[in-house]
């Protein structure tokens, strides 16, 4: 469970935050004494002794009940203790998800014979970050399984526990709590910078495909793991985007990089060469044994509650998600039709986008290492941009700055959350860095400046010049400021 992050000095050991427990319960399911176990729908790790499970659940229940008396509309969200921190989340009425995270700690060796002293760093982890991680867990579950309530309707507690078990068993293994940060709080979408004409071409492509394959209900278009078009509503897209970029795409890009299953082997369809292939469903259409099963996702769970097949199809760097009502049977014929129609067009489009993208890059000048790094997020369209984070891989997301700086960013954000008004916070970090947070009408910008001798006024002026919010969201090639310039040039 413990993973040492770095060793300072000879024997001192640092441990990063880690997942201790993760459980889901519904207090209504076992109201009577002796039936407490019925409340527990899922418990991780599963090998915990039954009574301990019941005790832990009972404790959470009690805390939530108790704090409710102070503020009935906003029950407790987290509980801080010396060794760990618990996060509570009630995604659906009476269904509670609890995540217990062990605080990071430092193990200091003592003189011979004595056991080492453990120092818990209880202030190092942020409620906003892990609270968001917990919510994301639920959203991801819901995307692939629908709501708890629907599962209950369909198959009672039995079905629900089955689903939870199946999903979380694997999902929790992919949680990397040590690398969670501000970006998890935002859960934003990175949009691909694109000129109007190419964008319209993509529109046209999407419309044509939806018209000729009328089964398709929604389409989403991505390039370089960045979103260009979403037919889904924002909230559904947000979680689907998260799935695609942190799970599906990395899984498929690694074999690509390794040279296996190379996309550079064009498929011949008719007399047109194309590079299209399915990322979900059949991996090879030519294979007579190919399976035509696609993952199912649930969207618009608040109103129309739709269950859809998720077809992800990719040609070069362009990926398209086609979503089709789950009630439709999809077989070889449909997949071949889709492959034949989309493959050639998407291949062309992908090279068009690539060409346009390179032109824009050339226009905006060569990639030079800028004096600052930043994270930008707009709550209105969930647009997110970070020059702090390296390319995300399936396992971890790497940051290029010291964790202490990331912590400052998180703290500033927590301050912003507390008030509604626009705010600006400038912090001088220990390591001579300036950290500036700015919140303006639903937008947040965090800049890390590396100017040793700059004073507050200079930093303030610098940041002012960087912020031209109104031109930032489209982040197209109207490059009026240094920052926008970077927005365009910096990807991956």
Partner 1 sequence: MSEEHYLELCDSPVQFENASSVNNVFFDEANKQVFAVRSGGATGVVVKGPDDKNSIAFRYECALKSLCFALIKQNRPVFSFQNGGQGGSEISQVCGEKNATVLGFCWTSWNEIVFITDQGVEFYQVLPDKRSLKLLKSHSINVNWYVYCPETSVILLSTTVQGNVLQPFAFKCGTMSKMSKFEIELPVVTKPAKIILSERDIAVATIYGQLYVMYLKHHSRTGNNPGAEVVLYHLQREGACKRSHILKLNTTGKFALNVVDNLVIVHHQSSQTSFMFDIKMKDTDSNLNIHQPVLPARSIHPYKIALTGPAAVGSQTPVPCELCILFLTFLLGSGYLWYLQVKLKPVVSLLQDKSKLMEFLLRRRDCKMVILSVCSQMLSRGDKGSLPVVAIVFDKLNQVYKEYLEAEQSYTMAVECGPSRGSTAHKRPVRTQAVIDQSDMYTHVLSLFTERKDVSHKFIIAVLMEYIRSLNQFQITVQHYLYELVIKTLVQHNLLYMLHQFLQYHVLSDSKPLACLLLSLESTYPPAHQLSLDMLKRLSTANDEIVEVLLSKQQVLGALRFIRSVGGHDNISARKFLDAARQTKDQMLFYTIFRFFEQRNQRLRGSPNFTPGEHCEEHVAYFKQAFGEQAFIKPVTL
Question: In whole angstroms, how close is the CB of 127 to partner 1 at the nearest point?
Answer: 26
Helices (H) and strands (E) in the chain, counts: 12, 22
The Cα–Cα gap between 440 and 349 comes to 36
Sheet holding 434-440, edge to edge: 383-386, 372-378, 443-449, 434-440, 423-428
CA distances from 362 to 127, 365, 490 (A): 42, 5, 12
> Would you give the DSSP letter of residue 305?
-
For residues 78 and 360, which CB has a smaller minimum distance to partner 1 in the complex? 360
Q: How far is the CB of 438 from partner 1 (least distance, A)?
A: 13
Minimum CB–partner distance for residue 219 and partner 1 (Å):
11
Q: Given candidates 30, 231, 340, 403, which one binds partner 1 under the rule CB under 8 A?
A: 231
Q: Which is nearer to partner 1, 16 or 360 (CB)?
A: 360
Q: Does 157 bind partner 1 (CB under 8 A)?
A: no
Q: Which of residues 278-297 bind partner 1 (CB under 8 A)?
A: none
DSSP run (H or E) holding 197: helix 196-212
Q: Does 304 bind partner 1 (CB under 8 A)?
A: no
Q: Which of 341, 32, 40 is nearest to 215 (CA)?
A: 341
- Please report whether residue 474 would count as binding partner 1 according to CB under 8 A: yes
Interactions with partner 1, residue window 432-461 (CB under 8 A) = 441-442
- Of positions 381, 450, 481, 491, contacts partner 1 by CB under 8 A: 381
Task: Please give the span between the terminal C-alpha atoms of the chain, in angstroms, as a whole number.
Answer: 31
Q: How far is the CB of 59 from partner 1 (least distance, A)?
A: 39
In the complex, least distance from residue 208 CB atom to partner 1, rounded to whole angstroms: 5
Q: Which of 211, 302, 333, 369 binds partner 1 (CB under 8 A)?
A: 211
Question: Any contact of residue 473 with partner 1 (CB under 8 A)?
Answer: yes
Tell the smallest beta-carbon distance from residue 294 to partner 1 (Å): 22
Which residue of 81, 94, 234, 371 would you call a contact of partner 1, by CB under 8 A? 234
Task: Give residue 18's Cα distance to chain centre.
Answer: 18
Give the interface segment with partner 1, choosing from 207-215, 292-300, 349-357, 387-395 (CB under 8 A). 207-215
380 scored as a contact of partner 1 (CB under 8 A): yes
Measured from the CB atom, is 150 or 443 closer to partner 1? 443
Shortest CB 227 distance to partner 1, Å? 9
The answer to whether 352 contacts partner 1 (rule: CB under 8 A) is: no
Q: How far is the CB of 304 from partner 1 (least distance, A)?
A: 12
Torsional sign, CA 473, 474, 479, 480: negative
Contact window for partner 1 (CB under 8 A) among 27-35, 247-255, 306-314, 377-385: 377-385
Query: Of 7-15, 45-53, 205-213, 354-362, which part binds partner 1 (CB under 8 A)?
Result: 205-213
Among 214, 271, 327, 453, binds partner 1 (CB under 8 A): 214
Query: Counting every residue, how long is the chain?
Result: 492
303 near partner 1, rule: CB under 8 A = no
Q: What is 312-367 written as a DSSP string?
A: EEEETTEEEEEEEETTS---HHHHHHHHHHHHHHHHHHHHHHHHHHHHHHHHT---
What's the min distance (Å) between Cβ of 199 and partner 1?
4
Q: Which of 212, 262, 395, 431 binds partner 1 (CB under 8 A)?
A: 212
Is the N-terminal amide bond of 45 cis, ω within 30° of 0? yes
Q: How far does Cα 313 stand from its chain's mean position?
A: 21
Question: What is the smallest separation between the CB atom of 444 and partner 1, expressed in angstroms?
Answer: 13
CA dihedral 53, 55, 59, 65 (to 10 degrees): 90
Contact between 422 and partner 1 by CB under 8 A: the answer reads: yes
Which of 154, 197, 390, 398 touches partner 1 (CB under 8 A)? 197
Q: Rule CB under 8 A: is residue 200 a binding residue for partner 1?
A: yes
Distance CA 478, CA 472 (A): 9
How many Å apart are CA 420 and CA 438, to the nearest integer?
Answer: 13
Q: Nearer Cβ to partner 1, position 289 or 470?
A: 470
Question: What single string gives the DSSP state of each residue in 144-193?
Answer: HH--HHHHHHHHHHHHHHHHHHHHHHHHGGG--GGG--HHHHHT-BPBPP
CA-angle at 395, arms to 391 and 398, nearest 5° = 40
Smallest separation (angstroms) from partner 1 to the CB of 196:
5
Distance CA 98, CA 100 (A): 7
Compare residues 293 and 379 and give the one whose CB is closer to partner 1.
379
**CA separation for the pair 239, 19 (Å, rounded):** 22
Phi first, then psi: give them for residue 426, nearest 5 degrees: -120, 125
Q: Nearer to partner 1 by C-beta: 213 or 426?
A: 213
* CA neighbor of 121 nearest in space, from 18, 214, 39, 37: 18
Binding test (CB under 8 A) with partner 1, winner from 196, 332, 362, 391: 196
470 binds partner 1 (CB under 8 A): yes
Where does this chain bind partner 1 (CB under 8 A)?
Answer: 191, 194, 196-197, 199-201, 203-204, 207-208, 210-212, 214, 229-231, 233-234, 378, 380-381, 383, 422, 441-442, 469-471, 473-474, 476
């Amino acid at each position: 469970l413990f993973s040492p992050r770095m060793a300072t000095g000879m024997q001192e050991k640092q441990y990063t935050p880690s997942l201790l427990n993760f459980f889901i319960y519904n207090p209504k399911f076992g109201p009577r004494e002796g039936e407490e176990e019925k409340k527990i729908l899922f418990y991780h790790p599963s090998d915990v002794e039954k009574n301990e499970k019941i005790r832990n659940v009972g404790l959470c229940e009690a805390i939530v009940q108790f704090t409710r008396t102070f503020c009935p509309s906003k029950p407790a969200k987290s509980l801080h203790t010396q060794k760990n921190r618990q996060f509570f989340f009630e995604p659906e009425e009476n269904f509670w998800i609890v995540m217990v995270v062990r605080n990071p700690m430092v193990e200091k060796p003592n003189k011979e014979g004595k056991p080492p002293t453990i120092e818990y760093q209880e202030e190092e982890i942020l409620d906003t970050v892990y609270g968001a991680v917990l919510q994301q867990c639920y959203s991801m579950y819901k995307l692939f399984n629908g709501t708890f309530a629907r599962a209950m309707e369909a198959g009672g507690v039995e079905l629900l526990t089955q689903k939870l078990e199946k999903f979380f068993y694997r999902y929790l293994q992919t949680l990397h709590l040590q690398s969670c940060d501000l970006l998890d709080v935002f859960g934003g979408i990175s949009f691909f910078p694109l000129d109007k004409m190419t964008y319209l071409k993509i529109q046209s492509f999407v419309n044509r495909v939806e018209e000729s394959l009328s089964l398709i209900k929604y389409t989403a278009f991505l390039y370089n793991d960045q979103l260009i078009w979403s037919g889904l509503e924002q909230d559904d897209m947000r979680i689907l985007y998260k799935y695609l970029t942190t799970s599906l795409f990395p899984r498929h890009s690694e074999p690509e990089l390794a040279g296996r299953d190379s996309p550079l082997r064009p498929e011949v369809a008719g007399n047109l060469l194309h590079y299209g292939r399915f990322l979900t469903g059949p991996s090879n259409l030519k294979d007579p044994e190919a399976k035509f099963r696609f993952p199912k996702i649930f969207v618009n769970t608040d109103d129309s509650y739709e269950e859809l097949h998720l077809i992800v199809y990719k040609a070069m760097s362009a990926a398209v998600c086609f979503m089709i009502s789950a009630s439709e049977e999809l077989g070889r014929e449909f997949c071949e039709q889709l492959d034949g129609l989309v493959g050639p067009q998407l291949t062309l489009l992908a090279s068009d986008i690539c060409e346009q993208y390179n032109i824009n890059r050339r226009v905006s000048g060569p990639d030079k290492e800028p004096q600052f790094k930043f994270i930008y997020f707009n709550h209105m369209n969930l647009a997110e941009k970070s020059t702090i984070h390296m390319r995300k891989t399936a396992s971890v997301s790497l940051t290029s700055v010291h964790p202490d700086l990331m912590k400052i960013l998180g703290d500033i954000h927590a301050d912003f959350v507390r008030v509604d008004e626009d705010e600006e916070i400038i912090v001088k970090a220990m390591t001579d860095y300036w950290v500036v947070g700015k919140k303006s009408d639903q937008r947040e910008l965090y800049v890390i400046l590396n100017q040793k001798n700059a004073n507050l006024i200079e930093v303030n002026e610098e940041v002012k010049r960087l912020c031209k919010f109104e031109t930032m969201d489209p982040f197209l090639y109207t490059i009026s400021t240094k920052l926008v310039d970077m927005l365009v040039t910096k990807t991956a």
